[in-house]
Amino acid sequence: MNELSKTRTEGAREEIRPDWVPADRWLGEDLARLERERLWPRIWHIACREEEIPNVGDYITYEFLDESVIIVRSAPETISAHYNVCQHRGRQLVNPGKGFSKGGFLCRFHGWKFDLNGENTFVFHEEQWADCPAFTKDALALKGPKVDTFGGWVWINMDPDAVSLKEWLEPVGEWLEPFEFDKLRRAWYETVIAPVNWKVVMEAFHEGYHSGATHNSWVDYYSMLSPTHAYGKHCGFTTQFLEMPKMKREDGKWTQAVNGADMLYYQSKELHDELLAQVSDSGMRALERLREEFPLGSDETNLFPRFIELSKEEMEAEGAEWPEKLDMEAMLKPGISIHIFPNTIVLPTPDAVLWYRMRPHPADPESCIFDIWSLNRYAPGKEPKVEQHISNGFDEARGRNPFLEQDFGNMEAVQKGMRSRGWEGARTNPLEEVTVNHFHKMLDEFYAMDPVE
């Protein structure tokens, strides 16, 4: 046991306070080892979208550090998960990626076979093990993590004693259900091999306090307050404008929003045009109608209920389905963003969602794999065909998403700044950065656990 793990488990490390996270909570080989042993085997991981394996026999692998897991549609209504390793000599059964197997999986080393449920169906010269008492069907079956679904995603957990996915997601899972993410489909899928620790990427997105200085191309966010909250293991933030902000108009001039409809339109236009997510074309049409119905001087008491009505009309005009239980109360419950501990962030809107996942790089703890999905509602059969786009580093990713590029520079500069002797720790805002402190308190709880066998 090294010095870091000793102090973590014995509780002698410097306390995380509402305004303080010590510098040693981010980087280093010791932290990466603790995460490998005590965090990642215990969490519920997002592995893939259900629609990526629509037919019996379709499979996709989930690659995480040294693990490879086969996610397979084993029956029309059943998804199974198997560690991607033959029980004979440890050869991987399939190459990383997607595929189709009509009857199961063949190990190309010695020809052993396994069905889609993971049961062993053939051993070459099986009779030669006749006197081996441990050579049983149960022993030969593929081993697998727990598997469940939520929001259209397939989730896995490598800990056989893990709580259920439903319990893991409490309370935020219940808040997200009315959005019916299972009915959304991918608009685009970007992956950045980012030269920063996964926690640095995570923390770039789970508070809105940075918006004024970072995202200043279309909306003046300095007039915005972003309270943050802890929800069990998870956390998130909401926003409120203290006054009407300035907006960048089509002519390039900055003027103050004239009313709520004007503000909502330009905020959404930034997301639609620059982030390329969260607001669909039908949503923008609804906002254009909203501005016409609520000109300067209008009574805006009914603004948001009317916005929902118009959004539903425009969405259904395209043939897409509005979520049945998504009313005003349900829309507001999750706030702007939900951080599902430890490594995924959800930003839901009525007609779309932006979803982030961060995974540590298998070979470099100061790099990570940053996955970004934009999911929209489409009429049946109108979903675009989407392929994953992979960028090796932030420079290669630039030019694809103007809004996210504003965050890239922060991540790179934070990763470098954290190594400085001049930095003792994060002096976090007790209102607008509760998410940072809560995140590290939760991590410390997992670091203090015994390693998963």
Structure tokens at 426: 């994060």
3-state secondary structure 165-206: HHHHHCCHHHHHHHHCHHHCEEEEEEEEEECCCHHHHHHCCC
Task: Report the CATH number at residue 88.
Answer: 2.102.10.10
Q: Which two tokens stand for residue 163?
A: 């709580």
Contact 100, 57 (CB under 8 A): yes
Q: Any residues with CB less than 8 A from the CB of 320 and at least 6 apart, and which? A: 282, 351, 377, 378, 379, 382
Name all contacts of 428-431 with Cβ < 8 Å and 24+ positions apart: 428/18, 428/19, 428/20, 428/21, 429/19, 429/207, 429/209, 430/18, 430/19, 431/225, 431/227, 431/228
Q: Could you read off the pLDDT tens digit of each residue along the chain, which spans 453 residues?
A: 333 433 333 445 789 999 999 999 998 888 999 999 999 999 999 999 999 999 999 999 999 999 999 999 999 999 999 999 999 999 999 999 999 998 899 999 999 999 999 999 999 999 999 999 999 989 999 999 999 999 999 999 999 999 999 999 999 999 999 999 999 999 999 999 999 999 999 999 999 999 999 998 899 999 999 999 999 999 999 999 999 999 999 999 999 999 999 999 999 999 999 999 999 999 999 999 999 999 999 999 999 999 999 999 999 999 999 999 999 999 999 999 999 999 999 999 999 999 999 999 999 999 999 999 999 999 999 999 999 999 999 999 999 999 999 999 999 999 999 999 999 999 999 999 999 999 999 999 999 999 987
260 located within any domain = no
Count structural domains, the chain. Answer: 1
Sequence letter at residue 105: F
Structure tokens at 278: 């969260």
Q: Which three-class secondary structure state does DSSP give residue 359?
A: strand
Residue 349 resides in a domain: no
Short-list 326, 362, 357, 324, CA closest to 342: 357
State how far the Cα of 254 lies from the Cα of 246, in Å rounded to an integer. 6
Does residue 442 sit within a domain? no
Count of residues making up the chain: 453
- Cβ atoms of 193 and 391 within 8 Å: the answer is yes
Report d(CA 333, CA 13) in Å as an integer.
36
**Token reading at 294:** 């609520």
Residue type, 98: K
Parent domain of 144? 45-161
Angle made by CA atoms 376, 379, 382, in degrees to the nearest 5: 85
Match 């960048």 to its residue by tokens: 248
> What is the Cα–Cα distance from 393 to 415, expressed in whole angstroms?
14
Instruction: Identify whether 155 is part of a domain.
Output: yes
Residue 283 domain-assigned (yes or no): no
Q: Is residue 4 part of a domain?
A: no
E strands present in 361-401: 368-376, 389-392
Is 143 among the domain residues?
yes
Tokens of 66: 């040294």
What CA–CA distances, in Å, run from 252 to 247, 248, 255, 287?
9, 6, 10, 20
Would 447 be classed as within a structural domain? no
pTM of the model: 0.94
Amino acid at 436: V
